[in-house]
Homo-oligomer: A and B are copies of this chain.
Amino acid sequence: MKSNKNHSRRNFIIGGLAAGGSVVAGQALSAGDAAIIDKQPWSNELGDGVDVRPYGFPSKFVSNVKRRNVEWLTASTESSVNFTPIHELEGIITPNGLCFERHHAGIAEIDPTQYRFMINGLVEKELVFTLDDLKRFPRENKIYFLECAANGGMEWKGAQLNGCQFTHGMIHNVMYTGIPLKLILQEAGLKGNAKWILAEGADASAMTRSIPIEKVLQDCLVAFAMNGEALRPEQGYPVRLVVPGWEGNMWVKWLRRIEVGDQPWQHREETSKYTDLMQNGKARNFSWEMDAKSVITNPSPQAPLNHARGHTVISGIAWSGRGKVREVHVSLDGGKNWRKARIDGPSLDRSVHRFYYDFDWTGEELLIQSRAIDSIGYVQPTKDALRKVRGSNSIYHNNGIQTWHIRKNGEVENVEVS
């Protein structure tokens, strides 16, 4: 080093911390500490070489990091939902083993050699493809969030569930590899009156959704990989539809058929489900896009603030179905004052963003909130503002601001402030 000034601790400025402030009081090292560290068993005995499995697993010390369901939510495991433990995760990638999933007729187990993918309806040539056929088309790789429209649905009537895994865990964010559906439709040849497609799943629920052709030609993918490897069975192995920024129910799993038509099909999942009953008794339908949203994942009810006063990391995630997240703000006082959070890691179109707010906790009670502003300038609203427009009959598309109450002892509770 030529000079000490490049790494002086006086230069230290980050997040909400003052210049020259101390971050964390690590303990002064004593001779006793060093002796203890030197005697730890893992430093003195050969580790287990056999433990390196051909396909690896997490450490036994993190067995609490798992998907969880809400037992009363569905009648059987054949129709169920398992939530992502977002309070245990870092960064923006959700590991495949922890991605939330919703299924309607169990997990279909599809033999890839018997798998077939059909295009029919308003096309010049109706076609059928094997999985190997599909892999001869040009591919794309995109990191996108997938959020269920019902994420937060149980909170419309007020604070219900004590943990962000349950209030906000119907989301994951992975890199998809797939074929632009546009290319496959071009192979079949769209007829002039082609205005909609129907995507159909191969599981026993035969999930179907109508999607306008403009969206399909813009960015929908027929995906066969997530985070580098084959889709997981509960995510639609071997093939699922990717509908960037739009509600998760449309991302049809175990995709077996695309029908091309001139109008929407008005099937069950776009009429009796996935519509929003307004206060006047009429329902809003085709509310496809996921609005900008954010949540603080740490601290949160499942992840209390279990350390002494002083430097504290507030961490959370934000996303928008309409583009990137431009800014995230954090409040410590229930929305009276807002400070800009630090967005860290790749900022990608329709992908989860990670944000941090680093501050010194003095031990007082806090009402912590976050709000996202996306690249089209939309600001995440309060739950009250949402209810004012949408009424109180809704289930889907709750993107209201979440509040966590931090007690003096560090415990955290799901609350609402008005």
Contacts and interface: CB of A to CB of B under 8 A. Distances in A.
A364 interface: no
A154 interface: no
Nearest to A32: B128
Contact of A230 (B9, B62, B99, B191): B62
A105 B47 contact: yes
Contact of A103 (B7, B47, B231): B47
A127 B27 contact: yes
A26 interface: yes
Given A76-B49, A138-B15, A116 B33 contact: yes
Nearest to A60: B109
A346 interface: yes
Interface string A318-329: 000000000000
Contacts of A78: 46-47, 49
A415 interface: no
Interface string A99-120: 1010101111111101010111
Interface size on A, as a range, is: 35 or more
Given A118-B37, A192-B1, A24 B137 contact: yes
Contacts of A80: 49, 52
A228 B94 contact: yes
A6 B80 CA distance: 40
Contacts of A51: 106-107, 109, 233-234
Interface in A22-65: 22-30, 33-34, 36-37, 40, 42-62, 65
Which interface residue of A26, A28, A233 has the most chain B CB atoms within 10 A? A26
Contacts of A36: 116
B204 A44 contact: yes
Contact of A59 (B14, B60, B237): B237
Interface stretch (A264-272, A274-282, A306-314, A380-388): A306-314
A86 to B, nearest CB: 9
Interface string A199-239: 00011101000000110010000001101111111100110
Contact of A52 (B67, B136, B237, B356): B67
A48 B107 contact: yes
A6 B225 CA distance: 28
Contacts of A126: 28-29
Interface stretch (A177-185, A368-376, A390-398): A177-185
A362 B393 CA distance: 61
Interface string A339-368: 000101110100000101010000000000
Residue among A50, A116, A228 with max Cβ neighbours from chain B (10 Å): A228
Interface in A254-291: 254, 256-257
Nearest to A227: B93
Contacts of A106: 46-49, 51
A45 B203 CA distance: 8
A129 to B, nearest CB: 4
Contacts of A310: 136
A61 B183 contact: no
A130 to B, nearest CB: 8
A96 interface: yes
B190 A23 contact: no
Given A43-B204, A52-B103, A346-B348, 15 more contacts: A1-B195, A14-B138, A15-B138, A26-B128, A29-B118, A29-B128, A30-B128, A40-B114, A47-B103, A49-B77, A52-B82, A65-B230, A88-B229, A92-B141, A175-B345
